[in-house]
Amino acid sequence: MMRAYRLTVVIADLTDYRMTVCEISIQVACRKDFCSFRERKSFFLFRFVTKRKEENKMTIAVLALQGAFIEHEQMLQKLGVHTIELRQASDLQKDFDGIILPGGESTVQGKLLHDLNMFEPLKEKIQSGMPVLATCAGMILLASDIAEQDETYFESIPMTVKRNAYGRQLGSFHTNAEAAGIGEIPMTFIRAPFVESVHADASGNTPEILSIVENRIVGVKYKNQMAFAFHPELDQDTQIHEAFLGMIR
Ligand code: GLN
């Protein structure tokens, strides 16, 4: 026998908390003994986690060769952002909206980027305007100049950074300080660099200074790039990552 039902379906999309309500009519062919329940308006809650929806979500690629990349991924996931890891050249062909260059050891990361043929394509992406958040060693990779060192990397922010700049005793420390546009935030420094000086580029633009700790520049923004000498991913405060996502949205 055939039975007709009118259903009110509530689709709750838990990836962005949007609800869609729709009415559908269905006809069900069933055996008599299976249709003993009363005809009534039914409410269904479906959770759809579809591939299509995943594609609509913002995706951030985290350079995952060495250093503190997992902590960045965890922070982004807390903010509801899809992450992928950049581990080999083919990962750079994937679809993503922004890049994180994590802390670690800039010399090791630089060498691996070259060995794995990731350096040039990544440099191209940064130069073509892909938003980048760089922390600590990541900041060193972006600097046009590195004090007391000939080797440089992406050279995409006109500034001179000094590596391991806080001396042995102060190699690691924690403080709270202002970040422009955000307010006071916790800052964890681990054998951190600082920015010795920012320079004017060919068009006369200099990087914007976002943060100063003990008279040293520790945060800058230049075009599509934000770079910090500390590790925002190691504290619970998500505001630096949110500011970065705000550059993309
Ligand atoms: N000292 C490291 C370097 O020179 C940076 C340290 C860090 O990323 N925490 O690359």
Convert the pLDDT of each residue in 89-123 to its tens digit: 999 999 999 999 999 999 999 999 999 999 999 99
Residue nearest to atom 5 of ligand 1 (CA): 137
State mean pLDDT over 24-30.
69
**Higher confidence at residue 163 or residue 15?**
163
Q: How confident is the model over 158-185, as a mean pLDDT?
A: 90
State in Å: Cα 164 to ligand 1 middle.
Answer: 7
pLDDT score recorded for residue 8: 74
What is the Å distance from ligand 1's center to 28 Cα? 65
Nearest Cα to 92, choosing from 122, 72, 64?
122
Q: Which residue has the tokens 């060769």?
A: 65
Nearest residue to 1 via CA among 25, 37, 32: 32
Residue 42 has pLDDT above 70, yes or no: no
Specify the residue with its C-alpha closest to ligand 1, atom 4.
163
Question: The dihedral of CA 85, 91, 96, 97: what is its sign?
Answer: positive
- 242 pLDDT higher than 50: yes
pLDDT tens digit string along 186-239? 999 999 999 999 999 999 999 999 999 999 999 999 999 999 999 999 999 999
Q: Taking CB atoms and a 6 Å cutoff, what residues make up the pocket around ligand 1?
A: 103-106, 136-137, 140, 163-164, 190-192
Q: Which of ligand 1's atoms lies nearest the C-alpha of 189?
A: 9
> What DSSP string runs through the chain?
-EEEEEEEEEEEETTTTEEEEEEEEEEEE--GGG--SPP--EEEEEE---HHHHHHS-EEEEE-SSSSHHHHHHHHHHTT-EEEEE-SGGGGGS--SEEEE-SS-HHHHHHHHHHTT-HHHHHHHHHTT--EEEETHHHHHHEEEETTBS------EEEEEETTTTTTTTSEEEEEEEETTTEEEEEEEES--EEEEE---TTS--PEEEEEETTEEEEEEETTEEEESS-GGGSS--HHHHHHHHHH-
Tell me the catalytic residues: 136, 231, 233
pLDDT of residue 2: 72
pLDDT of residue 191: 94
Provide, rounded to the nearest whole percent, the portion of the chain with pLDDT above 70.
81
**How much distance in Å is there from the Cα of 222 to the middle of ligand 1?**
21
